[in-house]
Amino acid sequence: MQKNYKQILNELDSLSDVKHSFVISRDGLLMYPEQCTELNPEAFAAMTATVLGAAEAAVDELNEGVPTMVVVNARKSNIIITGAGPRLLLAAIISSNDTDKVYGYMEKAAREIGKSA
C-alpha cells in the first residue's frame, strides 16, 4: 500500500506547487511519511486531522453535507486538506495561492488513495 502512496504523492508533487504532501488517517496517524525538515510530520498529521474533523462537524451543523476541502492560508504557504476515502485524508503544503488548481490535482490523488486503502 505504501508504494502506491509514494507513487501517487510523487505524481501530485510533480504536477503542482506542492512542497510537501501526506497521507493521514482520520484519527491523525501519519500513514505515509515524507521526509521534511521544516516540520514534525507526526504532529502535523494529528493537527491536520483535527482541523478537518472540526470543519466536518461545523458543516454538519449547517446540514450542508461534507466539506470538499479545508484551506489554511498562511503568509508564505497554504495548507489544503481533503478526504481520501472513509478512513484517510490527504494534506498538502503548497507554495502558491492557486489552491483551486492544486485542489484539482489533489481530488484525483485522493480518489486513488481512497481506492487503495
Q: How many CB atoms lie within 10 A of CB 115?
A: 11
Q: Which domains does the chain have, with CATH numbers?
A: 2-116 (3.30.450.30)
Residue 23: helix, strand or coil by DSSP?
Answer: strand
CA distance 71 to 81: 7
Per the model's pLDDT, the better-predicted residue between 37 and 73 turns out to be 73
Task: Quote the pTM value.
Answer: 0.90
Instruction: Give me the pLDDT at residue 82, please.
Output: 95
Average pLDDT over residues 79-108: 92
C-alpha 18/C-alpha 93 separation (Å) is 6
C-alpha distance from residue 15 to each of 25, 31, 61 (Å): 24, 22, 35
pLDDT band at 37 (very low <50, low <70, confident <90, very high): confident
Mean pLDDT calculated for residue range 47-68 = 92
Identify the band that residue 3 occupies on the pLDDT scale cut at 50, 70 and 90. Answer: low
pLDDT band at residue 2 using 50, 70 and 90 as cut-offs = low
